[in-house]
């Protein structure tokens, strides 16, 4: 197990306020645009961002370009790491089903301008979620 | 090379001079003591055993230990075990809490942390992949738990983001911290984590406060240690998970169903400082919490597939803004019925208050309830307290909890925990100590968990607490000196959760342990050798006790007087804990473990368990 190597991370800046943080597949792919060595591309079938790990120079331009600061440099080899939807058969969905939770299912929404809205800094998202959960008190719990 | 599941080293920190070392323990010691409670007990014995009886728990020499185990984070339900010479019992308590701090230190390369000395100024410890450092905590000292956590999360995340800006966003650290109660050395204060989780028993919050250590925090980008047989571990994890999925009651309610059930059904719930153990108040029904206060019905700690936690929030009324978990049964009882409070909202409030102040939600309100009974009986007066302390008066208990945390007025005496407060109040009032101790619901300085023995219908019976080396700790009650060695003692040493240990068979859990570590570990070896070795060492240190309180062998291995009074109400009215059965079973327990009739470990037992170095001190006690 390697929690910080995961392409899906869950932030919890305040107990109970959990924010899954992963690639939302923006329609205009600012990360791909930003890569100085063309190491990033999009999968035509799934829309996922694919990283050419050989080509990646670990500059972090994709992280800075992402509206949600989603990509990470892998703790092992320092290469850009972004959810690739496991080629269309996501393991997270598989394991959630196997485990009997059935919280995750695959949906095919197609491209949408709204996707980019979901690529957001997790602390900002958490601030909204906190108010949703705790009402007025939620305004105070994340600095 | 370290065995599977171990990161391989520990942090050894002296706060007096700020010295931080990495140390390693031999593989044989790991195999014998495993981790968590076992390792902590052995470390305490090795370093402090010879001077134990004279060592004040608040002396800088005392150790505060945070210990993971080889199964931590790998078996479902990650926890950490906190220990040291207990300010409450003067023995060793393995006090566990569910926290990602355990996972973070392990991934950073550490199995545990040993902290000695005392810092001149308030500090907190930060462990990262770059090692450990002590950071100024002057700005955090005095803050309640909630504010401490909010500030730590922001401060540490920003610091790591500044140090390593290129790798992406840094997630929040794992943290454990104390509130004002710990800072002010309240003797039964706890160490908090995740706002509403606590290492509660043992009074380690006060020990942490005595070291001027406000918090410990860790954030790592590292991976878990390798296990010995990865495929087997995966298979066994799947099996454990499938069993845990069947524990539907915990998934749905946590232990929240018991706030009504332990009163109405098994009649084993503390009501008004245990004067009764029965109530039939639907207002304490779990549905009242669920319908009005639960804002989140699925919440878990790392690698937990059980999910017994629910998040409660009060959004309107006088306690608006309170946030805590379920509350679980223990806090429903101790922050509710035991104070004569039968309102779910008021119960959520007192539970939240305990979290914020850093009182243990069991031990702290045990003392509050004790004070209220003394008030009821006229031993403590309105003049002593400063206000009326009637059962069910939430505002009065709120006020008294603050006074305890800040040691104001009568709070200064109550901050010594129920046992010592009883002695001090007797002295103050010119009474014989027996006159105040008879209402103190504690065993050897540890207040008793919210499960009574009189009805005999709960999981706690006759000598379960009385014979335990952890006194009133309801999470490690003893039964026959045999099966409990492979139960609580084991999962406190392997370090995982008591609730994820229920469902999967013990055999599965020991197969898991073997697959993780590669040690030839079995249920039998834990029941006959490893377990008795740790418990016997804990017993030896508890018997040495001191210097402010020592326990008389056998005489103090007993229930509070009240447990022998007939239940006054409910379906089991008239039932008592059977004293003869207590006496008989304690002797059988001692005999099984190779202790003499007063509970002092015999020489041949110490030799057999490879702890012969304990013998000289035990020989003195036998005289």
CB-based contact B355:B413 (threshold 8 Å) = no
Partners of A73 in beta bridges: A80
Three-state DSSP state, B462: coil
What is the domain range of residue B590? 579-623
Per 3-state DSSP, what percentage of chain A is helix, strand, and coil (rounded to 5)? 35, 15, 50
Residues ≥6 apart with Cβ < 8 Å to A108? none
CB contact (8 A) between residue B168 and residue A69 = yes
**B158, B285: one domain:** no
Contact residues, chain B, for A34 at CB < 8 Å: none
Q: How many domains does chain B have?
A: 3
pLDDT of residue B490: 98
By CB neighbour count within 10 A (0-12 exposed, 13-18 middle, 19+ buried), where does B311 fall? Answer: buried
What is the mean predicted confidence (pLDDT) over A70-97?
97
**B234, B266: one domain:** no
In the structure, what pLDDT confidence band is assigned to residue B240 with cuts at 50, 70 and 90? very high
Q: What is the CA angle B173-B174-B175, rounded to 5?
A: 110
Element (H, E) at B604: helix B603-608
What is the mean predicted confidence (pLDDT) over B297-312?
95
Which of A14, A73, A99 is nearest residue B168 as measured by Cβ atoms? A73
Q: Which of B447, B465, B494 is the last residue in one of the domains? A: B447
**B345, B403: one domain:** yes
CB contact (8 A) between residue B320 and residue A136 = yes
Q: Are strands B110-116 and B9-14 parallel, antiparallel or unpaired?
A: parallel
Residues ≥6 apart with Cβ < 8 Å to B616? none
Q: Which of residues 181-240 of B touch A (CB under 8 A)?
A: 194-196, 220-224
Q: Is the pLDDT of residue A110 over 90?
A: no
In the structure, what pLDDT confidence band is assigned to residue B411 with cuts at 50, 70 and 90? very high
**B420, B488: one domain:** no
In the structure, what pLDDT confidence band is assigned to residue B613 with cuts at 50, 70 and 90? very high
pLDDT digits (tens, 9 = 90+) for B20-66: 999 999 999 999 999 999 999 999 999 999 999 999 999 999 999 99
**B228, B272: one domain:** no
The closest alpha carbon to B330, from B431, B429, B262, belongs to B262
Flag the least confident range among A4-13, A109-118, B233-242: A109-118
pLDDT of residue B192: 98
Half-sphere exposure of B209 (CA within 13 A, CB side): 28
By CB neighbour count within 10 A (0-12 exposed, 13-18 middle, 19+ buried), where does B231 fall? Answer: exposed
Calculate what percentage of chain B has a pLDDT beyond 90. Answer: 99
pLDDT of residue A108: 84
B157 lies within 8 A of chain A by CB: yes
CB contact (8 A) between residue B296 and residue A133 = yes
Q: How far apart are CA B216 and CA B536, in angstroms?
A: 30
Q: Is the pLDDT of residue B155 over 90?
A: yes
Contact residues, chain B, for A142 at CB < 8 Å: 150, 154
Q: How far apart are CA B439 and CA B560, in angstroms?
A: 8
Residues ≥6 apart with Cβ < 8 Å to A16? A133, B295, B296, B299, B311, B323
CB contact (8 A) between residue B149 and residue A99 = no
**Is B475 inside a domain boundary?**
no
Three-state DSSP state, B235: helix
CB contact (8 A) between residue B171 and residue A9 = yes
Radius of gyration over every alpha carbon of chain A, rounded to an integer in angstroms: 16
What is the mean predicted confidence (pLDDT) over B214-239?
98
pLDDT of residue B175: 98
In the structure, what pLDDT confidence band is assigned to residue B314 with cuts at 50, 70 and 90? very high
What is the mean predicted confidence (pLDDT) over A106-126?
93
Contact residues, chain B, for A137 at CB < 8 Å: 313, 315, 320-321, 323
Find tokens 């089991």 and name the residue: B572
Half-sphere exposure of A38 (CA within 13 A, CB side): 0
CB contact (8 A) between residue B196 and residue A134 = no
The gap between the terminal CA atoms of chain A, to the nearest Å, is 30
A17 lies within 8 A of chain B by CB: no
Element (H, E) at B540: helix B531-544
pLDDT of residue B28: 97
Tell me, rounded to whole angstroms, the distance of Cα B379 from its chain centroid. Answer: 30
Q: How many CB atoms lie under 10 A from the CB of residue A106? A: 11
* CA of A110 vs chain B CAs: smallest distance (Å): 27
Q: How far apart are CA B314 and CA B605, in angstroms?
A: 54
* CA of A129 vs chain B CAs: smallest distance (Å): 11
Contact residues, chain A, for B146 at CB < 8 Å: 141
Q: How far apart are CA B597 and CA A41, in angstroms?
A: 76
CB-based contact B601:B594 (threshold 8 Å) = yes
Structure token pair of residue B462: 């006759």
**B325, B408: one domain:** yes
Model-level pTM?
0.98
* CA of B74 vs chain A CAs: smallest distance (Å): 8
CATH of the domain at B432: 1.10.569.10
Search chain B and give the residue with CA nearest A79.
Answer: B167
Contact residues, chain B, for A99 at CB < 8 Å: 241, 245, 305
Contact residues, chain B, for A126 at CB < 8 Å: none
Q: How far apart are CA B255 and CA A51, in angstroms?
A: 46
- Counting every residue written for chain A, the total comes to 143
**B277, B231: one domain:** no
What is the mean predicted confidence (pLDDT) over A20-29?
96
**B147, B240: one domain:** yes
Query: Tell me, what DSSP letter sits at residue B565?
Result: S
Q: How many CB atoms lie under 10 A from the CB of residue B258? A: 25
Which of B171, B196, B224 is nearest residue A15 as measured by Cβ atoms? B196
pLDDT of residue B463: 97
pLDDT digits (tens, 9 = 90+) for B250-270: 999 999 999 999 999 999 999
CB-based contact B499:B306 (threshold 8 Å) = yes
Q: How far apart are CA B529 and CA B526, in angstroms?
A: 6
Q: How far apart are CA B304 and CA B165, in angstroms?
A: 31
CB contact (8 A) between residue B313 and residue A133 = yes
Contact residues, chain B, for A3 at CB < 8 Å: 103, 107, 302
Q: How far apart are CA B467 and CA A88, in angstroms?
A: 58
pLDDT digits (tens, 9 = 90+) for B329-379: 999 999 999 999 999 999 999 999 999 999 999 999 999 999 999 999 999
Query: Tell me, what DSSP letter sits at residue B92?
Result: B
Partners of B124 in beta bridges: B135, B215
**Is B261 inside a domain boundary?**
yes
- What are the φ and ψ backbone dihedral angles of B584, each rounded to 5 degrees? -65, -45
Q: Is the pLDDT of residue B212 over 90?
A: yes
Beta strands in B137-243 (DSSP E): 174-177, 191-193, 197-199, 213-218
Calculate what percentage of chain A has a pLDDT beyond 90. Answer: 95
CB contact (8 A) between residue B169 and residue A12 = no
Q: Which of residues 238-257 of B touch A (CB under 8 A)?
A: 241, 245
CB-based contact B531:B486 (threshold 8 Å) = yes
**B384, B422: one domain:** yes
The CATH code of the domain at A17-138 is: 3.30.70.20
Question: Is cis: bond before B547, omega within 30 of 0?
Answer: yes
CB contact (8 A) between residue B245 and residue A100 = yes
**Is B402 inside a domain boundary?**
yes
- All structural domains of chain A with their residue ranges: 17-138
Residues ≥6 apart with Cβ < 8 Å to B351? B196, B312, B324, B327, B331, B332, B335, B361
Which of B172, B222, B295 is nearest residue A134 as measured by Cβ atoms? B295
Partners of B22 in beta bridges: B11
CB contact (8 A) between residue A135 and residue B313 = yes
Structure token pair of residue A109: 């929404």
**Is B458 inside a domain boundary?**
no
**B47, B139: one domain:** yes
Q: Which of residues 79-138 of A touch B (CB under 8 A)?
A: 99-100, 121-122, 133-137
Query: Tell me, what DSSP letter sits at residue B429?
Result: H
Three-state DSSP state, B141: coil
**B196, B251: one domain:** no
Partners of B216 in beta bridges: B125, B176
Partners of B65 in beta bridges: B83, B114
Give the strands of the sheet with B19-23, arranged side by side.
Answer: B19-23, B9-14, B110-116, B64-67, B80-84, B95-97
B103 lies within 8 A of chain A by CB: yes
Search chain A and give the residue with CA nearest B173.
Answer: A13
**B33, B59: one domain:** yes
In the structure, what pLDDT confidence band is assigned to residue B162 with cuts at 50, 70 and 90? very high
Q: How far apart are CA B317 and CA B335, in angstroms?
A: 19
CB contact (8 A) between residue A4 and residue B166 = no
Contact residues, chain B, for A141 at CB < 8 Å: 146, 150, 323
For A29-91, give the secondary structure using H, E and C: CHHHHHCCCCCEEECCCCCCEEECCCCCCCCCHHHHHCCCCCCEECCCCCCEECCCHHHHCCH
The closest alpha carbon to B374, from B407, B409, B423, belongs to B423
In the structure, what pLDDT confidence band is assigned to residue B600 with cuts at 50, 70 and 90? very high
* CA of B518 vs chain A CAs: smallest distance (Å): 18
The closest alpha carbon to B113, from B57, B122, B212, B104, belongs to B104
CB-based contact B585:B462 (threshold 8 Å) = yes
CB-based contact B79:B193 (threshold 8 Å) = no
pLDDT digits (tens, 9 = 90+) for A33-58: 999 999 999 999 999 999 999 999 99
A vs B, Cβ pairs < 8 A, gives 104
In the structure, what pLDDT confidence band is assigned to residue B555 with cuts at 50, 70 and 90? very high
pLDDT of residue B7: 98
Among B167, B296, B304, B326, the residue to mutate for chain A (most A Cβ within 10 A): B167
Contact residues, chain A, for B154 at CB < 8 Å: 13, 142-143
Contact residues, chain A, for B221 at CB < 8 Å: 4-5, 75
Calculate the average pLDDT of chain B. 98
How far from B149 is each of A13, B158, B196, B215, B507, CA to CA, in Å? 9, 14, 11, 9, 39
What is the mean predicted confidence (pLDDT) over B109-120?
98
**Alpha-carbon torsion (B37, B38, B39, B44), positive or negative:** positive
The gap between the terminal CA atoms of chain B, to the nearest Å, is 45
pLDDT of residue B1: 83
Three-state DSSP state, B289: helix
Give helix then strand counts, H and E, for chain B: 25, 17
């Amino acid at each position: 197990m390697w929690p910080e190597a995961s392409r899906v991370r869950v932030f919890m800046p305040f107990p109970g306020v959990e924010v899954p943080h992963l690639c939302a597949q923006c329609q205009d792919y600012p990360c791909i645009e930003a890569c100085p060595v063309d190491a990033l591309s999009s999968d035509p079938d799934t829309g996922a961002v694919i990283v050419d790990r050989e080509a990646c120079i670990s500059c972090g331009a994709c992280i800075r370009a992402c509206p949600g600061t989603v990509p990470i440099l892998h703790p092992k080899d320092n290469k850009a790491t972004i959810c690739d939807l496991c080629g269309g058969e996501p393991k997270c969905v598989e394991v959630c089903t196997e485990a009997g939770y059935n919280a995750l299912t695959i949906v095919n929404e197609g491209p949408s301008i709204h996707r980019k809205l979901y690529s957001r800094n997790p602390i900002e998202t958490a601030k909204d979620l906190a108010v949703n959960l705790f009402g007025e008190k939620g305004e105070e719990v994340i600095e | 090379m370290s065995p599977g599941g171990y990161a391989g080293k520990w942090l050894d920190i002296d706060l007096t001079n700020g010295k931080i070392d990495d140390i390693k323990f031999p593989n044989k010691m790991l195999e014998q003591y495993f981790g968590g409670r076992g390792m902590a007990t052995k470390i305490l014995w090795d370093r402090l055993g010879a001077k134990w009886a004279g060592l004040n728990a608040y002396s800088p020499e005392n150790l505060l230990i945070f210990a993971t185990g080889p199964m931590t984070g790998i078996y479902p339900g990650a926890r950490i075990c906190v220990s040291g010479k207990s300010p409450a019992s003067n023995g060793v308590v393995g006090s566990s809490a569910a926290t990602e701090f355990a996972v973070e230190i392990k991934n950073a390369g550490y199995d545990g942390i040993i902290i000695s000395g005392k810092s001149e100024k308030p500090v907190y410890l930060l462990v990262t992949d770059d090692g450990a450092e002590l950071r100024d905590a002057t700005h955090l000292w005095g803050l309640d738990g909630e504010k401490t956590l909010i500030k730590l999360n922001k401060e540490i995340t920003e610091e790591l983001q500044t140090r390593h800006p290129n790798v992406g966003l840094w997630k929040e650290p794992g943290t454990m911290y104390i509130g004002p109660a710990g800072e002010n050395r309240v003797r039964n204060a706890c160490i908090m984590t995740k706002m509403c989780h606590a290492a509660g028993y043992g009074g380690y919050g006060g020990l942490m406060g005595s070291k001027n250590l406000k918090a410990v925090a860790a954030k790592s980008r590292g991976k878990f240690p390798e296990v010995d047989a990865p495929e087997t571990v995966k298979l066994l994890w799947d099996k454990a998970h499938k069993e845990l999925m069947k524990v539907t009651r915990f998934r749905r309610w946590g232990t929240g169903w018991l706030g009504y059930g332990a009163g109405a059904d098994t009649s084993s719930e503390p009501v008004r400082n245990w004067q009764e153990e029965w109530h039939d108040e639907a207002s304490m029904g779990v549905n009242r919490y669920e319908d009005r206060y639960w804002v989140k019905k699925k919440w878990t700690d790392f690698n937990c597939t059980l999910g017994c936690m629910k998040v409660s929030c009060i959004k309107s009324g006088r306690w608006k803004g309170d946030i805590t978990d379920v509350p679980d049964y223990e806090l429903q009882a101790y922050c509710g019925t035991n104070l004569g409070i039968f309102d779910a909202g008021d119960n959520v409030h007192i539970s939240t208050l305990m979290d914020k102040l850093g009182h243990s939600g069991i031990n702290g309100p045990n003392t509050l309830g004790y004070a209220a009974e003394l008030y009821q009986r006229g031993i403590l007066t309105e003049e002593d307290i400063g206000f009326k302390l009637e059962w069910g008066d939430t505002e009065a208990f709120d006020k008294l909890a603050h006074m305890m945390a800040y040691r104001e007025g009568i709070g200064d005496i109550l901050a010594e925990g129920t046992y010592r407060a009883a002695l001090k109040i007797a002295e103050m009032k010119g009474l014989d100590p027996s006159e105040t101790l008879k209402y103190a619901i504690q065993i050897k300085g540890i207040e008793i968990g919210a499960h009574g023995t009189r009805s005999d219908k709960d999981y706690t019976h006759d000598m379960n607490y009385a014979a335990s080396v952890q006194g009133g700790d309801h999470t490690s009650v003893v039964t026959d000196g045999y099966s409990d060695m492979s139960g609580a003692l084991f999962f406190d040493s392997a370090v995982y959760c008591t609730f994820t240990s229920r469902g999967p068979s013990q055999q599965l859990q020991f197969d898991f342990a073997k697959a993780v570590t590669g040690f030839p570990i079995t249920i039998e070896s834990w029941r006959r050798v490893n377990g008795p070795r740790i418990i016997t060492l804990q017993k030896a240190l508890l018997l040495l006790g001191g210097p402010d309180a020592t326990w008389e062998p056998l005489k103090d291995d007993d229930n509070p007087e009240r447990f022998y009074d007939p239940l006054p109400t409910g379906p089991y009215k008239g039932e008592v804990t059977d004293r003869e059965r207590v006496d008989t079973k304690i002797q059988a327990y001692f005999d099984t473990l190779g202790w003499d009739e007063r509970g002092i470990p015999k020489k041949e037992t110490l030799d057999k368990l490879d702890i012969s170095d304990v013998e000289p001190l035990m020989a003195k006690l036998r005289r």
